[in-house]
Amino acid sequence: MKVQIPRGTQDILPGQAKIWQWLEEKMREITNKYHFVEIRTPIFEHTEIFARGVGDTTDIVQKEMYSFQDRNGRDLTLRPEGTAAVVRSFVENKMYGDPNQPVKLFYIGPMFRYERPQSGRYRQFVQFGVEALGSQDPAIDAEVISLAMNIYKEAGLKNVHLVINSLGDKESRAKHREALINHFRPRIGELCEDCQNRLEKNPLRILDCKVDREHELMKTAPSILEYLNDESKSYFEKVCQYLTDLDIEYTIDPTLVRGLDYYNATTFEIMSSAPGFGSITTLCGGGRYNGLVEEFGGPETPGIGFALSIERLLAALEAEQVQLDLYNDLDFYVVALGERAKDYSVKLLNELRNNGFSADRDYSGRKMKAQLKSADRLNAKFVVIIGEDELDNGIVQLKSMETGEQREIKLETFIEEIKQLAV
């Protein structure tokens, strides 16, 4: 039987995993500076969580979720995104009662969507996201956007730009909804079946259609910006002002609606303009979701967040040919010659590791020359050579791989002496 990985998934091999670890560490470092703390939610939730949270008119809920029934007939779904689960946890654990508001959370973990695999897009992918719950201040919008932009900056990307829009409040959206229905209804038969189904349910979702995005009706559709009331307009202007104050360049796109139903007010995407990146240029997306907490039975609580795919970030790094500064050096490689030396090396390796050094040795019985080559491939800083003669004399040979310098060190003082070295 030929065993293969499922379509739309990938193995992250050790060399690549090092890059993932570096990126994840960088993300944690940045979120810590912004005082966001980690939350971990289950990989699967009750299906209703996503149907209510993400929206039953979205492609995710209609076409892409991995849903199943457990042995008791409960409808469960592998999480397709992170926000709905975080908000569920926020309500269930009464985090709205925390005296420190807003509650600033981040998450990182695998998500699952049944969609067509392509470059940088998988059916199992790793999503990093942040959520700030409990503040209606436009400054938190700017902060969340700034955090997202900093991740790409710190990773070394140059060809990224921010696109923003406002979807307004309930009053503004109601007027815009009516205008969209009147705009599309006379010619709705020209659009795909999904768009036809969305006309009455959620006409805003039509603007996010992948099939008909080049249709002339899309280009002439009424802009939400024309229907913003004074309050929504003032809020959006404030967000834009703060972004300018933070030296973050942006473009306003009135057609930007995002792919999830819970968004309102501020929405944004970070795009890549790197040559050869591909047709799908979105790296990150997010926005406000005031009302989502109430949808899950919690009190009125405003929220804003974003999510990004690490796979998409890796694809952008590759497109821009960014070389990450990865440290994979080995402090010590022990070359043991003879059975007694091999036996002693087990203890020596343990002592090195217990004193904070990374250390390794040969386990294949290779000759000294082959062991030294192995040390070189592993970027070992020092080689410790020990054989029968060294054991008899209570010494080891310490060789610097950078300079080639070699000297004797007494076994009894070895650990203390190497602590003085800049390793």
Walk me through the domains of the chain, giving residue ranges and CATH numbers.
Answer: 14-169+229-319 (3.30.930.10), 330-418 (3.40.50.800)
pLDDT digits (tens, 9 = 90+) for 199-220: 877 787 787 777 887 888 888 8
pLDDT of residue 237: 96
Distance of CA 215 to the CA centre of its chain: 33
Contacts 24+ apart (CB under 8 A), 398-407: 401/375, 401/376
For the residues of 89-149, what is the DSSP string, one character each?
Answer: HHHHTTGGG-SS-SEEEEEEEEEE-----BTTB-SEEEEEEEEEES---HHHHHHHHHHHH
55-74 burial, b for 16+ CB within 10 Å, e for fewer?
Answer: bebbbbbeeebbeeeeeeee
Pairwise CA distance, residues 140 & 199, whole Å:
33
In contact, 299 and 93? CB cutoff 8 Å: no
pLDDT digits (tens, 9 = 90+) for 225-267: 888 899 999 999 999 999 999 999 999 988 887 655 567 889 9
Pairwise CA distance, residues 142 & 120, whole Å:
27
pLDDT of residue 339: 93
pTM metric for this prediction? 0.85
pLDDT digits (tens, 9 = 90+) for 110-136: 999 998 887 778 999 999 999 999 999
Q: What is the pLDDT along the chain (423 residues), one digit of tens a residue?
A: 889 999 999 999 988 999 999 999 999 999 999 999 999 999 999 999 988 777 766 667 877 899 999 999 999 999 999 999 999 999 999 999 999 999 999 999 999 999 888 777 899 999 999 999 999 999 999 999 999 999 999 999 999 999 999 988 888 888 888 888 888 888 888 888 888 888 877 787 787 777 887 888 888 888 888 888 999 999 999 999 999 999 999 999 888 876 555 678 899 999 998 887 776 688 999 999 988 899 899 999 999 999 999 999 999 999 999 988 777 679 999 999 999 999 999 999 999 999 999 999 999 989 999 999 999 999 999 999 999 999 999 999 999 998 999 999 998 999 988 888 754
Instruction: Determine which helix (DSSP H) or strand (DSSP E) holds 242, and give its type and residue range.
Output: helix 230-245
DSSP state of 35: T
pLDDT of residue 372: 92
Integer distance in angstroms from the first to the last C-alpha of the chain?
A: 48
Using only the alpha carbons of the chain, give its radius of gyration.
28
pLDDT of residue 211: 82
Tokens representing 252? 């306003």
pLDDT of residue 279: 66
Q: What are phi and psi of 321, to 5 degrees?
A: 55, 45
